[in-house]
A and B are shown apart, each in its own frame.
Chain A
């Protein structure tokens, strides 16, 4: 029984939150990695693209709610998601047309594009704050829990409770669908194959008649869809606040680099590595150990490796270690 209690406490505070957070990071990192693989620069504006997409979803959700539309037990934001993706696609295509294309035609170095993307980041950041303001916005509705703590305790009779929030369930399901679609697209469709060809060797791809502008456009469309989905899922699960997305940039980049920049599979693995490290290192293990260990060995302290204030430091450390010892990442991406 004690073992079960330990397992439940661990799931409740570590495993389930980390899986949800990892899925959100993975979706974000996929976007970063695609841009890096195909357009060949690190897109610092990615976090704010997520914020913009999530903001559109929040606004459309409010509109739907005011019209009395709801999605039953699921959050209305899922209905708003497709519209938000369309809006974000329009924004990134517009940005590409007026900003990035100019530098692409100049054959600008990646480092210049990185700095350009920082400029874009600040503009998008300002745009989002200008439209919706810098404050917290709540837009989650529908059922809050798949299993609530009370139900779980009544069901199992265990001392520890387990909660699975609807948003956590949705996050995982939607992330799996997105990733499956993405891999199907990249591996099975003509456009996907041309994108991979362009990524592997630009010159050869051009020689074989692939239209680069088309590839770039499709990349942006996919990235917009991924970013909006990641942003909406994160906002639903936690809360929507523009500045938070800016801060998310660090763990997202850490995920993409740890997995290997340019490798979609690596981005997903990296997302989960970062999420689990952040959560397990800042978790206080006292409760779990109390169930697992005999009484004589019970810890009196919290057994917390790092205070939760240092959550982001964990991504930093992992990032530095990976860059020092395995610069191409776990999945042999391109070196940075």
Chain B
């Protein structure tokens, strides 16, 4: 009996040792193309997480992680799909950190990743079109950046908490404005509010009194201005104040800057707004961890670190580098319950997971995955108080 136990223990050890492998992760980003200036530090961020895990020697009994880079081009779906195909079939990657732009990310996911059953975690694709409500992605796609539609939902929550049930909406006439206004209207009406008018305004006009006339006629407790503070957004607010059409406003991210308080000050007292932002200590810890190796504050670089870390932690939680097994664990490691994990603490997280414990990966961007596996995003809710932009809270 004793021998049997010993043998099985030895067997377990051997099995563990045998499973120690070199795990390859794909890093598919647009190293050429329109965001080529952002991608080097994004890739560095992802590889930093891989190195941290490899150096700890704790992943799946001592496995190491190797990064394989490929070019998504950001815009060319065919080239991106070919690159992903190469990574999976000839390099044998177990997961993909990427892609970056929404278009190529969708192409890789549908053409390559789903067909081959490989997990993708994108650090920067924000199109609402990538939210999968009917499991079209077989549970393989995640993202550490929030969907653009998310701000509409957050905006609804803010207004509902303020007790605002009826609003007028005006948006700058482009994809950003229209997408935001439409996602807000859908969310707000689903929450029981009503949108009296959802009208576009053109940027760069001298006079917005006609637009404001229509908004005023429709009425509402508050005017939502999904525009730009340096452009028509300010013109709309100015005309609305001058004509007494609205006293308070709600501002999404494009409107929130020092220019807003400089232009209007206490004239918009009591107005609210939100823009991406977090008070999580993760970002500072990430900068510290990176040191001077690359730019830790470059857009989507912290998200890239988190994306790679999530893949590796999920592997540890599943006890396997097989995408079909660890894809189930990504949501578990990203969200509560469990011990909070910040950048630089991946070794500790691997220990906890190996011991059967649970973790809540916070990372550099306060990761919280919702829905089909996308970041809830972090927003700073603001209020105009005494003519100044003041933080109400973070959500």
Contacts and interface: CB of A to CB of B under 8 A. Distances in A.
Nearest to A165: B242
Contacts of A287: 216-217, 219
A302 to B, nearest CB: 6
A149 B212 CA distance: 15
Given A279-B210, A307-B199, A308-B211, A163 B217 contact: no
B263 to A, nearest CB: 9
A163 B219 CA distance: 18
B173 to A, nearest CB: 8
Interface string B204-217: 11110111111011
A235 B206 CA distance: 8
Given A284-B218, A287-B219, A302-B217, 4 more contacts: A278-B210, A283-B217, A304-B214, A304-B217
B242 A163 contact: yes
22 contacts: A12-B243, A12-B244, A13-B212, A13-B216, A14-B213, A17-B210, A17-B213, A149-B244, A150-B244, A153-B244, A165-B242, A235-B206, A240-B206, A282-B210, A282-B214, A283-B210, A283-B214, A284-B213, A284-B217, A307-B199, A308-B213, A309-B173
Contacts of B207: 21, 237-239
Contacts of B211: 308
Given A12-B244, A283-B213, A239 B219 contact: no
A148 B202 CA distance: 27
A7 interface: no
Contact of B235 (A239, A303, A308, A311): A239
B243 A13 contact: yes
A13 B209 contact: yes
Nearest to B235: A239
A163 B213 CA distance: 13
B204 A17 contact: no
Interface residues of B, number: 24
Contacts of A241: 204, 206
B218 A13 contact: no
Contact of A308 (B206, B214, B244): B214
Interface in A220-255: 234-235, 237-241, 243-244
A91 B272 CA distance: 49
Interface string B175-202: 0000000000000000000000101111
B243 A163 contact: yes
B218 A286 contact: yes
Cβ-closest 8 pairs across A and B: A149-B244, A284-B217, A238-B206, A161-B244, A13-B213, A284-B214, A238-B207, A287-B217
A13 B217 contact: yes
A234 B214 contact: no
Given A13-B217, A302-B197, A311 B210 contact: yes
A284 B220 CA distance: 14
A3 B205 CA distance: 33
Contact of A286 (B199, B205, B217, B235): B217
A283 to B, nearest CB: 5
Contacts, number: 82
A285 interface: yes
Contacts of A279: 210, 213
B178 to A, nearest CB: 13
Interface residues of A, number: 40
Interface in A290-322: 302-304, 307-309, 311
Interface in A135-183: 144-145, 148-150, 153, 161-163, 165
A212 to B, nearest CB: 38
A309 B200 contact: yes
B244 A17 contact: no
B380 to A, nearest CB: 28
Contacts of B212: 13
Interface string B231-265: 00001000000111000000000000000000000
Contacts of A162: 244
Contact of B204 (A12, A163, A243): A243
Contacts of A237: 207
A202 to B, nearest CB: 38
B206 A234 contact: yes
B266 to A, nearest CB: 13
Contacts of B209: 13, 17
Contacts of A302: 197, 214, 217-218
Contacts of B213: 13-14, 17, 279, 282-284, 308
Q: Which of B199, B204, B213, B218 has the most CB of A within 10 A?
A: B213
Contact of A149 (B201, B204, B205, B243): B243
Contacts of A148: 244
A21 B202 CA distance: 19
Nearest to B244: A149
A165 to B, nearest CB: 6
Indicate the member of B201, B218, B235 with the most A CB atoms within 10 Å: B218
B257 to A, nearest CB: 16
Tell me which of A14, A165, A285, A302 has the highest count of chain B C-beta atoms within 10 A of its own C-beta: A302
A161 B199 CA distance: 23
Contacts of B244: 12, 148-150, 153, 161-163
Contacts of A149: 243-244
A238 B211 CA distance: 14
Contacts of B219: 287
A288 B213 CA distance: 11
A148 B235 CA distance: 18
Interface in A46-82: none
Contacts of B217: 13, 283-288, 302-304
Contacts of A165: 242
Nearest to B205: A244
Contacts of B242: 144-145, 163, 165
B237 to A, nearest CB: 13
A239 B206 contact: yes
B171 to A, nearest CB: 13
A304 B213 CA distance: 10
A282 B209 CA distance: 11
Interface string B78-104: 000000000000000000000000000
A161 to B, nearest CB: 4
A150 B213 CA distance: 18
